[in-house]
Structure 1
Amino acid sequence: MRTVRNWFQDTTGGLPRTFWYLWAGTLVNRLGSFVIVFLAIYLTAERGFSEFQAGVVLGLWGAGGAVGTLTGGTLADRWGRRPTLLTAHLGAATMMLALGFARELWLVGLGALLLGMFAEAARPAFGAMMVDVVPERDRLRAFTLNYWAINLGFACAAILAGLAAEANYLLLFVVDATTTVTTALIIFFKVRETRRVRAEPATGPAAPHRGGLGSALRDRVFVGFVGLNILMALVFMQHISMLPIAMGQDGLSPATYGSVIAVNGVLIVAGQLFVPRLIRGRSRSGVLALAALIVGVGFGLTAFADAAWFYVLTVLIWTLGEMLNSPSNSTLIAELSPAALRGRYQGLFSLSWSVATFAAPIAGGFVREQFGNAALWLGCAALGGVVAVAHLLSGPVRERRVRELRTVDAVPAGRGGVAAPAPAVEAAPTRPSATANV
């Protein structure tokens, strides 16, 4: 019993109250993330749109998300984390209801575009705030706990969404909007602004990071890291694009696919809290390389799967890689982001997922149609291997950049024009923001 208590204290103890407000907002948001689970089914089964029309609507949602991540990141740095989050959540809740009541295709498409924009605008502001309030030594634990909340909420949402859809599809939009507003209320009442205005030196390792989004795009170290994430995300996103098609061609029902993919969320909820102790003190680039390799192997084995149990095995394998990848990714993003540009950097990284969400089904469908099912999955394995090698090769450069940024952040006020960083906010309420649920 004492061992369990010690583990719980090591995992959750010592984190700022602000973080727990953010964590609660994440959980509430994800518990209500109904619409994204059933949007394609709603558009085709309930609204009578064709599969192509439904695909266009989903594509507009992704396009809006790409705009939202970049806009949200810029606003988080210039306007502030708190007002960006409040605007994003309230805007998303409004567009959620508008989408639920829209009937004409062009209105549905416009609603999806604006919903994606508002919903995804919260991501970089939330990530920047998490970095603002959690000390560097605790960020791995904090991002792991937040990732756990995301998966717990989403797993429950999938079940609840099914029940709500049986009653009334409009209920999906109403509940989703309600939980988004609830998150906004937590932000409004319990979270305060965490952005600190800092002056950047004219020279030195942080010099390339002055200015706007263009500064982040000119940061070759960070852009290279984002590029590797796009490649990994292209592999990972096949689980919601080509995997159900492959399982269907093996004679497995959509319900079986749902059960198989649920293994991903269950495993993450059950095991993610143990990951920080497993990877603590290890090379981040080594962990990311191992994660890419495991994800590649898991998806590669799909080429040989022909039964539900085999598909479950592949999901178990790539989920283990995902569990290693996520917290390591999050902490490295935080340390590669100059303090004055955290929102923009978070926005640029979030954009990598939007790009993959758009490109993965197109690329996967093309490869599968032209070269066959096995080529797609073995190609995923090869891509995982390429990313693993790239992480090992680029790791030293990234770690050198991290050390440079730490040196800049440590310069006290009056030296080099950089204000000394204030201590991490622990006390007063700071806001919970997860991405607005969709």
Structure 2
Amino acid sequence: MGLKRQFWILWLGTAVNRVGLLVPGFLGLYLVQREIVDRSAVGLIVGLYGAGLVSAGLIGGVLSDRFGARRTIIAAQLGSAVNAVVLMLVGQVAVVGALVYVAGFLSTINRPASAGLVVTVVEEQQRARAYGLLYWAQNIGGSAGPVLAGLFLSIYPPGIFLLWAVTSIGYAAFAWALPEDAPTPVRTTERRPIAFLTDIVEPFRRPVMAAFLCMTFLLACVYLQRQSTLPLGLTAGGLSTEQIGMVLAINPILVIVLQPVLSLHAGKLRGIMPFVIAALFVAVGFGMNAFGSGIYWVGLSVAVWTLGEILQAPMTAAFIAARAPEGRVGSFQGSYFFIWNLGLVIGGPIGTLVSDRFGFLSLWVSLFVLGVLVSIGYSLIRFIPGYRLSASDTPSEAAASA
């Protein structure tokens, strides 16, 4: 298929990892079943997991640059395996809470590292396709994971942790087969803690990256309503839980079916245009909920915002990789994962507040308007000084932005 063997090893490792990745909802069910926590504490458990996700983006990216992406993945996966086994054995609420935070952290710390490894093992002109295929692997594994987790919860609940541990070790084994990447030395003019913090904030100090991350955060606030207010709104619209599960299943099915095809063509779109189009798809998809609540109409709306997801996610990684300084790819990719997860932490409660105060119709209209504004915001990024890259820096991206 034109991509090196090392990339397909990373692809397989990513898919295996996502199969066993601990899903917060299933963890909450397990803890309630075992009477470790009551139902009122499940929200706190999920929140701790989310806090781990948010912090992992920034820290994981810098660790990837400092110690090497391959080493970061191996260490994170071995740590995940140990954390899974300990979490299976303990019963104290405070200890469980701490371990859940660690679980969220370790589940995401490898993502900026794997995005950085693509730069090492894939040629420049093939990276947009490679990031699309890597995103495909995440969705294939992520689709199988909940099915297996649900099965284990019904026949042997601790099995969700054993599955998590085994797949983590499997990913570490795949990562071991990847080529060693050289870590970035700490700048001699700065102390280590200061250099670490400098690397974390560097993407946000660059005008083009800062504007891009700002638009991406706002887009995440719209898109990630799928995990917060969307199921509630569909229930209020008259759909049963079974029907909601059916229409939301359209998302992973479309990603698995369409991602490989779109990966071949998405890289041909010029400059910032993929993000302008993706934001419009997301805006229209969520805005469609204002005009109907029948199962077929909702299914069509899910298909529309899924197209935006398919276009946005892999192209974001390629856009950032093209603008990251040498030795800072992990830090720059980590800024995206931080911003994206922050969109759930902040956007979810705001969406709930809007729907409670003004109703779901107001929420869907607001999401449409915000999505359109994000699309316009993306289109204006090309006018920021420094947007166009020189051909000596990144040939294909420079050509695309011209």
The equivalent residue for 1:325 is 312
Higher mean C-alpha deviation, range 270-279 or range 121-130: 270-279
The equivalent residue for 1:151 is 139
Listed as ranges, the matches of 1:275-314 within 5 Å are 275-314=262-301
Indicate the SS of the match to 1:192: coil
Q: 1:402/1:108 Cα in 2 relative to 1: closer, same or farther (>3 Å)?
A: farther
Q: Does 1:168 align with 2:156?
A: yes
| Contact 1:336–1:401, Cα closer than 8 Å, also in 2 | no
Q: 1:267/1:134 Cα in 2 relative to 1: closer, same or farther (>3 Å)?
A: same
CA distance in 2, matches of 1:47, 1:223: 45
Q: Does 1:93 align with 2:78?
A: no
CA distance in 2, matches of 1:370, 1:291: 29
Post-superposition Cα deviations, 1:320-345, rounded to whole Å, max 9, x if no partner, equal 11112122212101111112211111
Higher mean C-alpha deviation, range 123-132 or range 30-39: 30-39
CA distance in 1, matches of 2:393, 2:231: 48
State the shift of 1:74 in Å: 1.2
Which of 373, 389, 394 is equivalent to 1:403? 389
| Contact 1:102–1:108, Cα closer than 8 Å, also in 2 | yes
CA distance in 2, matches of 1:169, 1:97: 13
State the shift of 1:408 in Å: 4.9
CA distance in 2, matches of 1:40, 1:239: 19
Q: Does 1:244 align with 2:250?
A: no
Identity value in percent: 31
Which of 324, 335, 338 is equivalent to 1:348? 335
State the shift of 1:199 in Å: 11
CA distance in 2, matches of 1:199, 1:80: 13
Which of 57, 64, 77 is equivalent to 2:65? 77
The equivalent residue for 2:204 is 217
Q: Does 1:127 align with 2:115?
A: yes
CA distance in 2, matches of 1:378, 1:409: 40
Indicate the SS of the match to 1:15: coil
> Residue type of the partner of 2:50?
G
Listed as ranges, the matches of 1:329-408 within 5 Å are 329-397=316-384, 400-401=386-387, 403-404=389-390, 407-408=392-393
CA distance in 2, matches of 1:135, 1:34: 33
CA distance in 1, matches of 2:163, 2:345: 27
> Residue type of the partner of 2:309?
E
| Contact 1:35–1:176, Cα closer than 8 Å, also in 2 | no
> Residue type of the partner of 2:389?
R
Structure 1 residue runs without a partner (length 5+):
1-12, 201-209, 411-438
CA distance in 2, matches of 1:52, 1:229: 32
The equivalent residue for 1:258 is 245
The equivalent residue for 2:213 is 226
| Contact 1:336–1:402, Cα closer than 8 Å, also in 2 | no
CA distance in 1, matches of 2:186, 2:394: 11
Aligned residues: 387
State the shift of 1:253 in Å: 3.0
| Contact 1:44–1:50, Cα closer than 8 Å, also in 2 | yes
Q: 1:120/1:276 Cα in 2 relative to 1: closer, same or farther (>3 Å)?
A: closer
| Contact 2:68–2:184, Cα closer than 8 Å, also in 1 | no
CA distance in 2, matches of 1:19, 1:69: 22
State the shift of 1:235 in Å: 0.9
> Residue type of the partner of 1:102?
V
State the shift of 1:33 in Å: 2.6
Q: Which has the higher contact order (CA 8 A, sep 6+)?
A: 1
Higher mean C-alpha deviation, range 155-164 or range 28-37: 28-37
> Residue type of the partner of 1:403?
L
The equivalent residue for 2:105 is 117
Structure 2 residue runs without a partner (length 5+):
188-196, 396-402
Q: 1:199/1:282 Cα in 2 relative to 1: closer, same or farther (>3 Å)?
A: farther
The equivalent residue for 1:24 is 12
Post-superposition Cα deviations, 1:397-416, rounded to whole Å, max 9, x if no partner, equal 38x44514x53579xxxxxx
Higher mean C-alpha deviation, range 67-76 or range 231-240: 67-76
CA distance in 2, matches of 1:36, 1:347: 21
CA distance in 1, matches of 2:52, 2:6: 29
